[in-house]
Each structure stands twice: as C-alpha cells, then as structure tokens.
Amino acid sequence: MTQGIFNIPFLAVAALIGIGLYIIVFDRNLIKLVIGITVLQAGVNLFLVSLGYRQHGGVPIYTNACHSNMVLPVPQALTLTSIVIGVAITAFMLSMIMIIYRHTGHIDAKKSRKLKG
Amino acid sequence: MMETPSGFWGPVPWIISTVVAVVIACLIRTLGEKEHKSGVQGQEFLMGNPRLPEEKSHIRAHNIYWGFFQGLRRYYEHATNMHTGIINDYIIWFLSLLAIMLMIVFVVEVI
Amino acid sequence: MSSLLIHSPILIIAIPLLAAFLTPFISRVSDRARDALVIATLVFVEFLVIILAVDIYRDGPHIYALGASSPLLAMPEHYMVPVRIVLQVDAMSIFMGMISATVSLAAAIYSVSFMRNETGKDKFYTLLLLLTVGMMGLEFTGDMFNLFIFLEILSISGAALAAFRTNFADALEGGFKYMCISAVAALMILFAVGIFYAQYNLLNIAALGQAIQYTMLDKIALTLLMMAFFMKLAGVPLHMWAPDTYSVAPAGITPMIYVASQACMYALFRVCFSLYGVTLNTLTIGWIVIVIGVLSMFVGVTMAVRQSDIKRLMAYHAVSQSGYMLLGVGVGLAVLGNPQALAAYGKQAMEGGIFHIINNAMYKGLLFLTAEALFYSLGTRDLNKMGGIAANMRYTSIFFMIGALAISGIPPFNGFASKLLIYESVYQFNPMLSVIAMMISIITLASFVKVFQSAFTGPILPHFRVVKEVPGPMLGGMGILTAIIIFFSLFPGLIVDQLIHPAVEALISRGAYINAIMGGMQ
C-alpha cells in the first residue's frame, strides 16, 4: 500500500498526457491546440519530477542538510529547462495564431488552411 | 574511381567514352545529305490546322503527363485526400504510427 | 593553434550563438556591417569545422566536457559515470557538421540579396544563426537531454524563419505546422529521456549505451525516439508538414530547414547505432526504417509529379530523397547483427545512404535556391504560369539543369554515384527494393523534365519579356553549391574513401563511441 501511493503521480502523468493528446487530436481550434500542447508539456514535466522523487527525500541542498536521503536534483534541473522552453514555444505559437487570425479571420485549423494536397 | 559491390564507377572514363561516342555520331552525321531543306519541306505541318501564336503554343505544366495521372486517378484521389492540411490530422498520423510501431516492437519479441 | 583545435567543438556552437544576439545591435549601426558579421561568423565556423574535421579524420574522435578543469576529461575523478555535459564529435558528427556549415554559409550569402527589400532583417539573421547553432549542437552533442535542447532551438528558429514573411498567410500556416509537430515530437523525446533517466540515472549517450539492457521500457523509449525523429525528418506517412513548410519558407531558409531535418536523421541513426546498437532487434528495426524509407520514396515522388507549385514539387522531392538515405542505412541496420552480411553489402549500403545525405544536401539546396530565384524574378511559384524563361535567366537555367540531372541520378553527376552504391548493395539484400528505388529515380527524372519543359523551354511568354537574371550574390550562393556538386561528381571515389567510409565506421563501431567516454574506467 505504501508503494501504491507513490504511483499516484504517474497516474496523473498518464492522465495529463492523455488529456493533452486528446485536445491536440480532436480540437480544431488553434488556441485550444496550443493549450493541449501545454497540458502535454505539464504531463512530461510532472513525469520528470516525480521519477526523481525518493521516499522520505529531502531538498537536495547541502547547506543545513538534515536528511540522509535526498530527492534527485538532476530531473528538477531538466524540468526547469523544459518549462522555460515550453513557455517560449507557447508564446511563439500564440503569436503566430494571432497573425493567422489577422490574415484569414479564422482560428479553426480547417477553415484557416491554405496548403493541402 | 569508386568501388561498388560488383564493379566500379569512375566519371572520367564515362565522360571520355561519351565524348568519343558523340564525335563518332557527328562524323556519321556529316556523311548525310547536306542540302538545305527549303520550300514545303522546311515548313511545320500541324494536321492542316493554322499555326498558333507563340504564347499559345507553349504546353503548360498541367497538361504534361495527363495520361499518367488519368491512369493512376484513384491512387491520386486517395493520396491528395489523405493530405488534408489540418494540423490535427498530422498528429493523428503520428499517434497511430506510434501505436503500430509499439505493437510491432512488442509482438516481434514474442514470436 | 592546438588550443583552438581542442576548444573548437564548443566554439562552433558558441560563436554563432554569440553572434546571433550581437546582430540586432550591429544592425542599429549599419546593415552592411551586420551582413559582414553574419558572413564572417559563418566563414569562421566553416573554417573551424574543417580544421576539426581534418584532425578527426586523422586522429580519431574529439570529446569536450563542459565545465571540467580540462575539457578532455569526460569522467571526473572518483566518479563512475560522466556527470558533465559532454560534446562528442566523431567522424559521422563532423561529416554532418560540414554539411550544415556549408549549407548555412551558402544560404546566408544568398539571403543577403534575397532579403534586401524585406524588413526585420536583424531578427532574420539572429534566427538564421540560431538555426545553425541548433544543427551543430544536435550533431555534436553526446548527451540525451542536450539533444532535446538543441532540437528545440532548431525547431523554434526553423519555425520562426519559415513563417518569417508574415505578409503571406500561407507562410504563417507552414511555420505553425512545423512548430506544432516539432513541439509534440520534442516532448516525446523528453519523455524517452525521462525513461532512460528513471532506469539508469544517466543522460550521457555513451554511458547509456554501455548500460542499456533493451528492457520493455527501453523498447517504449526507442519507439518514441524513432517516431519523433521520423516526424522531424519527414518520413512518410509523417511527411505532411514538409511540403507545407518547405514551400513557404524564404529562399535561403528552405535548404537550411531541409538540412535541419537531415540533422534529425543523424540523431535517429545515432540513437539506433550508438545508443542501442546490437542490443536491439536489428532485423525488425532495420525493416521498419527500410519500409518507411521505401514509402517515403514512393509517395514523395508520385505526389511531386502532380504538383504545380514549383517549391512544393521540390519539397516532395526532398521527402522522396530522404527515403533513399533511410533505405541505404536501414539495410545496414538490418544486417548489423550479422558480420558477414555487414561486410559483404551492409557497409556499402550505408556508405551509399550517407553519401546520398551530402549529395542531396547540395543539389536539393541548389534546386530550392533556383526555385526561389524563379519566384524572385517572376513573382509566381505556379508552373502553369511559367514558360520560356531560359532565354532571360541563363545562369539559373544552367544551375537548375545541373541540379535536376544530379537528383535524377544521371551519370556523371554525384547523385548517380550514391544511387549506384545503394542499388547494388540493396540488390544483394532484397532485389525488389532495388527495383523500386530505380523506378523512383525514373519518376524523379520525369518530374524534372516536366518542370524544365514547362518553365524554362518553349517560346517566352509576353509578360516575362522584361524578366532579368537574379542579382550577383544569389548567383554566388547557387554557384558555391554547383561547384561542390561538380567536385563531388568528378571525385566520388575520393569522397567515399576519405569522408564517407570513416563516417560509416564511426556509426557502426559502437564500442569505440562508448570507449571514448567510458574508456577511463576499464
């Protein structure tokens, strides 16, 4: 049972990735598509952080360290980097959608397309 | 020279042999009739139709290989319809291929 | 000189990165100074790549540990694993690096005059240099997470460049699609990196290669990585973004985005050969790569014949030609576990595939540039509206003809040399694949005959009588690529022996790649 409780973050990861992919696949609204990508990013980031967790782990700072057991610091560094990249991507995609809307008057993936075939 | 599994490829011998072949072809050509084709012989003949103005006689891109596309009409209908241009569909392709690959990778291990 | 050589792996990445953020400031002073800075940076990068390449081909791979007391010290003392970010440059990486540096340089020279009348050029050159950084980093890195970072740099700058001409609605759409698929693919890669870290507590590719077990989780990670890279390199049926994005990007950028896709193909090969190597089921994975390659060849070329937008046509050809590379290297991967077959034809198939990468980067780049030269002069990309422009654009027609003959595999051009290697070696693996590859080559020629006939030959259309040849720097950019194509055509043996063979050896010999980092432990 104590083991089972540590799987909850991974269930959350699966749920977030599932929701993210569902939005990306089924929603033709471009802004919602970006939201889907953000949710997907959140899922992957949560995955990275939660796999670095150790049971009863403390903060991985050596000054005033009171725990012998620490959580892994590397996944946290990875997550931080990934969050920064994610923000950049989100902002960039939203600004692109803005100009797409200006040109075509639609933010629907089907109505705003010009390239196919 | 570049070694290939069953021989070699060198552009220089190829170029030399091509040049030799062209020279021989030109020599044979000089043996032919030298008289200039004049009169009716030199005129174009378009099934008795009048000659088109220059800009209309150019064959545009969409007329080229018409028969090829007509023969493969059903393939092209499918292929163009698949390329919908909707970004969501691109992701659907990605996810379905991902699922198929996962199945292949795991099933092959079992067999 | 020797310290320059030791530090060159990081300098190749750091100098364009620094220059990228310097360009907006220089741009305030003068446009000419900025153009000169960009060209000078790329020339210097090319110079560094070449001296590094000479050294690597002579003395073996370079490693560069960031933040270590000595950059050559990959493994810190008292540590069992490399904890630092390591750049690992072997013959294959530097081979791809040379392609990227050369194409970036040609693209920048071409862009100087192509972009003359556009606004926002300071940002344009920043992004161009960042795209170079992304490609170089992706090719040089020895670290899985770093690979993700550089992939993102490459994707963001590539998408921004593709959408650069915001006055066209389709440019935005192409850029948005590229960004969207890149974001999803990169997240899959990050997930795979997480899986690796969860199992082995490692991020270094060489260290992971030593530890990897091919467990169930590794299989999932492999599938995620492979599909993400297939998406990025536009393998059918994940190719659909490619024609949309390539056809709308500004001229010089299309070859660069294409080379960026090739960099992703390099990452795929690195993962398959160096990270997993013989631990994976080589026959299955090899056949997956081959099947996607054959599909790419077939669908790419048949769709290309039909297009009437000249850049879209070229973009479909880019998809089709990637198939040849996947076919060649896929055959090598399929026989990786079988030393006899590998020696008999596997290595040569891989040589063909990898030779095709550099050939294709050059002539495909040239064709993209000529297509955009037509757009620049005529103001349309529609083949149905073109006709008889060979009379007014002589040099462009000659460049186009050389590129078209090379891509169709007509001797004596370099495309023929690499395709011959692929045909002959793949024939020994499976004759049917070789027959398909030859048939695709014929359709390729047919589609370029269509372009040549409809755009260049025939009587000149009245409203194109005033059309002039494109300006000098644009011809210069095309000229560089043409010169390289002719050089490769004349000396295929030299190129294969000196450049391709070491690269293939570096890709196959997984032990050497791992030992370069982990060697200190044994």
* pLDDT digits 0-9 by tens, C113-122: 888 878 888 8
Residues A99, C166: C-beta atoms closer than 8 Å: yes
Q: Give pLDDT, residue A20.
A: 95
Residue whose tokens read 């769709």: C303
Residues B85, A33: C-beta atoms closer than 8 Å: no
Q: Give pLDDT, residue A1.
A: 43
> Chain B to chain C, count of Cβ pairs less than 8 Å apart?
146
Q: Give pLDDT, residue C521.
A: 46
Pick the residue of C148, C153, C176 with the most A CBs within 10 A to test the interface with A by mutation.
Answer: C176
Report the chain C residue with the minimal C-alpha distance to residue B14: C412
C237 cis-preceded (ω within 30 degrees of 0): yes
SS3 A29: strand
| Confidence at B44, pLDDT banded by 50, 70, 90 | low
Which segments in chain A show pLDDT lower than 70?
A: 1-6, 65-67, 117
| Predicted confidence (pLDDT) per residue in C90-108, tens digit | 999 999 999 999 999 988 9
Q: Please list the residues that pair with C141 across neighbouring strands.
A: C87
Pick the residue of C311, C454, C500 with the most B CBs within 10 A to test the interface with B by mutation.
Answer: C454
Q: Give pLDDT, residue A71.
A: 82
Residues C156, A88: C-beta atoms closer than 8 Å: yes
How large is the average pLDDT for residues C223-239? 92
CA pair distance C118, C296, nearest whole angstrom: 35
Using a 10 angstrom Cβ sphere, with 0-12 exposed, 13-18 middle and 19 or more buried, the burial of residue C445 is: middle
How large is the average pLDDT for residues C280-291? 90
Report the chain A residue with the minimal C-alpha distance to residue B77: A117
- With contact defined as beta carbons under 8 Å apart, do C492 and C414 qualify? yes
Residues on chain A touching B95 (C-beta within 8 angstroms)? 21, 25
Contacts of C26 (CB under 8 A, 6+ apart): C33, C34, C37
Query: C429 phi and psi, to 5 degrees?
Result: -80, -50
Least confident range from C146-155, C285-294, C384-393, C448-457: namely C384-393
CB atoms within 10 A of CB B39: 6
Best mean pLDDT range from B30-34, C235-239, C384-388: C235-239
Retrieve residue C250's tokens.
Answer: 């500004």
- With contact defined as beta carbons under 8 Å apart, do C448 and C404 qualify? yes
Residue B82 in contact with partner chain A when CB distance is under 8 A? no
Beta-strand pair B7-9/B2-4: antiparallel
Give Cα C295 to chain centroid, integer Å. Answer: 19
- With contact defined as beta carbons under 8 Å apart, do C307 and C371 qualify? no
| Predicted confidence (pLDDT) per residue in C475-488, tens digit | 888 888 899 999 99
Q: Give pLDDT, residue A3.
A: 62
Task: Give the closest-approach CA distance of A68 to chain C in angstroms.
Answer: 19
Which positions 136-195 of C are in contact with B (Cβ < 8 Å)? Answer: 176-177, 180-181, 184-185, 188
pLDDT > 90? residue B3: no
Contacts of C36 (CB under 8 A, 6+ apart): none
Task: Give the closest-approach CA distance of C363 to chain A in angstroms.
Answer: 25
Chains in contact with A, where contact requires at least 3 CB pairs less than 8 Å apart:
B, C
Residue B84 in contact with partner chain A when CB distance is under 8 A? yes
Residues on chain A touching C174 (C-beta within 8 angstroms)? 115
Report the chain C residue with the minimal C-alpha distance to residue B93: C238
Interface of C with A (CB under 8 A): 145, 148-149, 152, 156, 159-160, 163, 166, 169-170, 172-176, 179-180, 183-184, 187, 190-191, 193-194, 197-198, 201, 203, 243-244, 247-248
Smallest CA-to-CA distance from C39 within C115, C125, C122 is with C125
Q: Give pLDDT, residue B36.
A: 66
Q: Residues C388, C392, C393, C394: is their CA dihedral positive or negative?
A: positive
Give Cα C433 to chain centroid, integer Å. Answer: 24
CA pair distance C383, C378, nearest whole angstrom: 11
pLDDT > 90? residue B25: yes
Residues A51, C160: C-beta atoms closer than 8 Å: no
pLDDT > 60? residue C520: no
DSSP state of B35: -
Residues A92, C159: C-beta atoms closer than 8 Å: yes
Q: Please list the residues that pair with B3 across neighbouring strands.
A: B8
* Mean of pLDDT over chain C: 90
Using a 10 angstrom Cβ sphere, with 0-12 exposed, 13-18 middle and 19 or more buried, the burial of residue C488 is: buried
CA pair distance C310, C387, nearest whole angstrom: 13
Q: Give pLDDT, residue C78.
A: 74
Residue A85 in contact with partner chain C when CB distance is under 8 A? yes
Provide DSSP, C104-162.
HHHHHHHHHHHTTT-S-HHHHHHHHHHHHHHHHHHHHB-BHHHHHHHHHHHHHHHHHHH
3-state SS of chain B: helix, strand, coil percent to 5? 65, 5, 30
Residues on chain A touching B84 (C-beta within 8 angstroms)? 113, 116
Pick the residue of C233, C311, C420, C451 with the most B CBs within 10 A to test the interface with B by mutation.
Answer: C420
Smallest CA-to-CA distance from B73 within C60, C144, C175, C302 is with C302
Residues B61, C411: C-beta atoms closer than 8 Å: no
Chains in contact with B, where contact requires at least 3 CB pairs less than 8 Å apart:
A, C
Domain ranges of chain A: 7-59+66-104
Q: Give pLDDT, residue C334.
A: 92
SS3 C87: strand
Residues B55, C224: C-beta atoms closer than 8 Å: no
Smallest CA-to-CA distance from C437 within C276, C281, C293 is with C293
Residues on chain B touching C420 (C-beta within 8 angstroms)? 4, 9
Chains in contact with C, where contact requires at least 3 CB pairs less than 8 Å apart:
A, B
Q: Give pLDDT, residue C101.
A: 94
- Residue of higher predicted confidence among C182 and A52: C182
Beta-strand pair C62-65/C86-89: antiparallel
Question: How many CA atoms lie less than 13 Å away from A89 in the CB half-sphere?
Answer: 35
C24 cis-preceded (ω within 30 degrees of 0): no
Amino acid letter for position C442: I
| Predicted confidence (pLDDT) per residue in C55-81, tens digit | 999 988 888 988 878 888 777 777 777
Report the chain C residue with the minimal C-alpha distance to residue B76: C303
Q: Give pLDDT, residue A23.
A: 94
Retrieve residue B110's tokens.
Answer: 């079992």
Task: Give the closest-approach CA distance of A48 to chain C in angstroms.
Answer: 6
Q: Give pLDDT, residue A65.
A: 67
CA pair distance C269, C287, nearest whole angstrom: 14
Retrieve residue C487's tokens.
Answer: 């050089």
ipTM of the complex: 0.94
Residue C455 in contact with partner chain B when CB distance is under 8 A? yes
